[in-house]
Structure 1
Amino acid sequence: MSLTFGVSASFLKKLGLKSKRPKLFRDLPPFPKEQLQDKYTGGDIVIQACADDEQVAFHAVRNLIRKGRNSITMKWSKSGFAAIGDRKETPRNLFGFKDGTANVTTEKEFDKVVWTDSKDWMKGGSYMALRLVQMHLETWDRTNLQEQENTFGRYKESGAPFGKKMSLTK
């Protein structure tokens, strides 16, 4: 089980630490055609709980919320999952496409991409971007293969980007 905590720029402001906010630490702008809902935007603290058993993750967060019930209010929560399988293979998402083909694979790449090189309190920290994506699987299942591949810009079978024969990773 692991718990990852994050704070928002608005949280730093509430603590009187706005001047300590790193330059890159800001809200994501809306993407084209995105339909953001106020009930799922904003917030001060995020908790990501990961466990082999969903109930363990749920109770970990629930107990933290319960302990802080006099000072915090949960705005929203979302349960999710990650594909389980051969970790040498890139897993497939619910649309059947390989998910994570361009993810870094070496510790050196990971250190460069994931951890900040800030000189301030963020040194050794990271940024989290979170977007809820609604997957209309019934509609997707009726979409022809070429349209599906055009949506992702890659071949469904291999996971390779258009113009390449092989996936970036297995």
Structure 2
Amino acid sequence: MSQPFVAVLMGSDSDLPTMQATLDILASFNIKYEAKVTSAHRTPAATHDYVTDAEARGCKVFICAAGLAAHLAGAVAGITTRPVIGVPVDCGPLKGHDALLSTVMMPGGVPVATVAIGSAGAKNAGYLAAQMLAVADDALALAVKHERQASAEAVAAKDAKLQQKLAAL
């Protein structure tokens, strides 16, 4: 059996700067991933073939980023029963709000876990995929817990520094 991995699909190569945050988070947890540009509209057969092949090879979570009409996550969710995380990309005249609605408004029974628009959402997509995989991987669950704790400690350190500055006034 092949090693589990996350597939990160982008509707355009212009989505990569946003999705780099996802790739960085996955890499930080040593989660294997594949990244691919594929389109729900321009390459539907190739998208279908990739999703079915990736699932057969051990893909456990799909992360799909797209802007504007943003049908990639929904199209992928229609092909697989693996979890699909949708990242609406901040682009176009509506600054990603159209992509958010396209990604989140799925029919009952075909869910897409939708995160925030843009880079914050891309970052959370990586964390959410790690949490999904951690359900069956105790070592990964511990790593996610430690990362969350380190983040909380960083905030506490920033507050302590602020309090020192305020006390000195």
TM-score in same-fold range (> 0.5): no
Pairwise TM-score range, normalised by the shorter structure: under 0.3
Q: Compare CA radii of gyration and give the structure with the larger one.
A: 1
Q: Which has the higher strand share?
A: 2
TM-score for the superposition, normalised by structure 2: 0.26
Q: Which has the higher helix share?
A: 2
Greater RCO (CA < 8 Å, at least 6 residues apart): 2
